[in-house]
Structure 1
Amino acid sequence: MEVLSLAQLVRDGSWRLGLAHDRPDHLLIWITRGQGVGLIDGARRGLGLHNALFIPARTLFSLDLNRQVFGHAVVIPERAAPSLPAALHHLRIRDAQAQADLTALFEAICREQAAYRPLRQAAMAAHVELMSIWLQRQVESGADSLPRPTAAQRLSRAYCARLVSHYASGASLTEHATFLNVTSAHLTRVCKTEIGKTASALLSERLLHAARRLLSDTDMPAKDVASHLGFGSAAYFTRFIQHHTQSSPIQLRRSARSRVQSG
């Protein structure tokens, strides 16, 4: 469990948040300045001042935040706070007292993290439980901005959920669409309308994020990364990376390592 600024969450590149991906842990994000857009609950949605975003583990999302955005995120291991909700919530907090309460909780957990006192993680977990109570109170008060889903939004959500578990399966877009009982053309139209990207572009984004993470954060050979992500050959994987980044897998890895060393 840790607290990070949004700048720290991005770390060595905007792709960390800007490409569609999912995480093994929960995120609670509190934006206190600036704005952006994101893939949230299977749709493209705006983000702004005093927005709280709870993203459960293994939920596909992306965030494109402008340079003026400031805020923090709590990274919460999946089983560390059982009282957290199971669903994604996007809250627009207009009540000044509610804004102050969450800001105070973030300040308290940041102080606890920085103090390195005995039982630090237990104390941070207690703060997260208080955040969970705050979150549930805001949901009950009607602050959740997510609308009742339409049929198109339900399909978009289902496709996002499908990519979480099957993005590296090597399945084609047609196979994903067949699983969802629609045609690939219909799935593409729905994704374009709801997310602003085609279904194939979303699949490519998820693969690209996984590839960049493995190249940046591990020593796994590029050919093994290719195999792990369902590419038919290392050559095809290299062409995929070059097409999307204008760099080879080796160049991406070297660039990531140099940024870590210089940072």
Structure 2
Amino acid sequence: MRGEPIPRYYLYGDQGEDVELDFLHIEAIRERSGANYWRISPHSHPDHTQVLLVREGGGVIRMEEKALPIEPPAVIVIPAGIVHQINFLAGTDGYVVTASLGCLRRAAAGDARLDVAVARPGVYPLAGTGLNTAAVEDTFTWLHREFIWSAPGRRTVIMAQCMRILVMILRLSISRDDGGIAAPNRDYDLLVRYRALLESHFRDQRSLGFYAEALAVTRARLNAACKSRAGKTASDLLHERIVIEAKRHLVYSENSVAQIAHMIGFDDPAYFNRFFTQRVGIAPGAFRREARRSAE
């Protein structure tokens, strides 16, 4: 009898497919973990990275094959696609940040060092690192306050605090060279490298053959890795990235649909309309109108 597959979650218990480019969520650890008897069953987040600040309590986290103790105060980095399980001590508290890969790319602002640091799983106790613990806690607290408080400039402040967290992770990864790092497998490594290539080429390269050749694997091997770690084919991930970029332009720019089509690599705006409609369920213009109505 075959076992049940490890669940893939949007958030801990919420499954979903449509991942927005700038999505970020933060909540207190006790909100979900307490309700689940302080135990988080094995699962992964194919499109989101999680960063935890554990202020008090502790426990053990298993990432892939390795179990790591949580000794607060500590920061935990769980990159997208990493299977993890957490057994918290009762009463553990702190924050859980769940951020889409696109959100992290925006916050990194082109600094490759930040991208690399947040893609590395690990548990980082703050003691002895030189980081100011009060400042670390203040960053998470401020992010949480802005997340639940609708005030002018909210979006800008959230991204600024997210960038601060990425810088903290970079410094922690340098101060703790091993970081108790859990070693991902080859499928995970291939998926990470494929997603990095997508960021550079999704506007002008639609052929999986291009990506497979650049990664020195076959298309079948690339597909197998994507299915294993993200639950989607390589083509699904490519098309998802194109759609996310289109949505971002539709919501945050004044460019026409035809202009947006050309900006993301479509020579024929009519084909872009069909591509978008097939995958989103409504035409680009209708998506823009709905998004703007909901923001009013």
Question: If the length of structure 2 is used for normalisation, what is the TM-score?
Answer: 0.55
**Are 1:150 and 2:194 an aligned pair?**
no
Q: Which runs of 5+ in 1 are unaligned?
A: 1-13, 64-72
- Whether the 8 Å contact between 1:37 and 1:44 is mirrored in structure 2 is yes
Instruction: Give, in whole Å, the separation in 1 of the partners of 2:285 and 2:188.
Output: 38
Q: Which amino acid aligns with 1:61?
A: L
SS in 1 for 2:45: strand
The partner residue of 2:168 within 128, 132, 138 is 132
SS in 2 for 1:191: helix
How far is the alpha carbon of 1:37 from its aligned partner?
2.6
- Whether the 8 Å contact between 2:46 and 2:231 is mirrored in structure 1 is no
The partner residue of 2:141 within 107, 115, 131 is 107
The partner residue of 2:274 within 231, 239, 246 is 239
How far is the alpha carbon of 1:38 from its aligned partner?
3.9
Instruction: Give, in whole Å, the separation in 2 of the partners of 1:84 and 1:192.
Output: 26
Report what 1:8 is aligned to.
Answer: none
Report what 1:67 is aligned to.
Answer: none
The partner residue of 1:37 within 31, 45, 48 is 45
How far is the alpha carbon of 1:204 from its aligned partner?
0.9
Q: Which runs of 5+ in 2 are unaligned?
A: 1-16, 33-39, 50-78, 87-92, 127-132
- Judged with a 3 Å threshold, the aligned counterparts in structure 2 of structure 1 residues 103 and 226 are, in CA distance, closer, same or farther, namely same
- Judged with a 3 Å threshold, the aligned counterparts in structure 2 of structure 1 residues 165 and 239 are, in CA distance, closer, same or farther, namely same
The aligned length equals 216
How far is the alpha carbon of 1:235 from its aligned partner?
1.5
The partner residue of 2:219 within 156, 166, 184 is 184
The partner residue of 1:194 within 229, 234, 254 is 229
Question: If the length of structure 1 is used for normalisation, what is the TM-score?
Answer: 0.61
- Whether the 8 Å contact between 2:191 and 2:225 is mirrored in structure 1 is yes
**What does the per-residue CA deviation read over 1:84-117, in whole Å, with 9 as the maximum and x for residues that have no partner?**
685115556899xxxx9554443367789x999x
Instruction: Give, in whole Å, the separation in 1 of the partners of 2:256 and 2:203.
Output: 17
Moved more, 160-169 or 224-233: 224-233
How far is the alpha carbon of 1:232 from its aligned partner?
3.6
Report what 1:69 is aligned to.
Answer: none
**Are 1:87 and 2:122 an aligned pair?**
no
Instruction: Give, in whole Å, the separation in 2 of the partners of 1:135 and 1:217.
Output: 32
**What does the per-residue CA deviation read over 1:113-154, in whole Å, with 9 as the maximum and x for residues that have no partner?**
x999xxxx9xx89x948982897189839776x621332222
Instruction: Give, in whole Å, the separation in 2 of the partners of 1:222 and 1:164.
Output: 22
Alignment of 1:211-250 (within 5 A): 211-250=246-285
Instruction: Give, in whole Å, the separation in 2 of the partners of 1:238 and 1:54.
Output: 31
Report what 1:205 is aligned to.
Answer: 240
- Judged with a 3 Å threshold, the aligned counterparts in structure 2 of structure 1 residues 157 and 31 are, in CA distance, closer, same or farther, namely farther
Q: Which amino acid aligns with 2:176?
A: E
> Per chain length, whose mean CA-contact separation is higher, i.e. which structure has more relative contact order (CA < 8 Å, sep 6+)?
1
SS in 2 for 1:87: helix
Instruction: Give, in whole Å, the separation in 2 of the partners of 1:82 and 1:170.
Output: 22
Instruction: Give, in whole Å, the separation in 2 of the partners of 1:62 and 1:77.
Output: 10
SS in 1 for 2:206: coil
Instruction: Give, in whole Å, the separation in 1 of the partners of 2:218 and 2:113.
Output: 39
Give the CA RMSD over aligned residues. Answer: 4.9
- Whether the 8 Å contact between 1:42 and 1:160 is mirrored in structure 2 is no
SS in 2 for 1:159: helix
- Judged with a 3 Å threshold, the aligned counterparts in structure 2 of structure 1 residues 135 and 42 are, in CA distance, closer, same or farther, namely same
Instruction: Give, in whole Å, the separation in 2 of the partners of 1:130 and 1:179.
Output: 28
- Judged with a 3 Å threshold, the aligned counterparts in structure 2 of structure 1 residues 108 and 207 are, in CA distance, closer, same or farther, namely closer
Instruction: Give, in whole Å, the separation in 1 of the partners of 2:243 and 2:210.
Output: 20
Q: Which amino acid aligns with 1:195?
A: A
How far is the alpha carbon of 1:230 from its aligned partner?
1.3
Instruction: Give, in whole Å, the separation in 2 of the partners of 1:182 and 1:111.
Output: 45
Q: Which amino acid aligns with 2:273?
A: T
Report what 2:200 is aligned to.
Answer: 165
Instruction: Give, in whole Å, the separation in 1 of the partners of 2:113 and 2:193.
Output: 25
Report what 1:6 is aligned to.
Answer: none
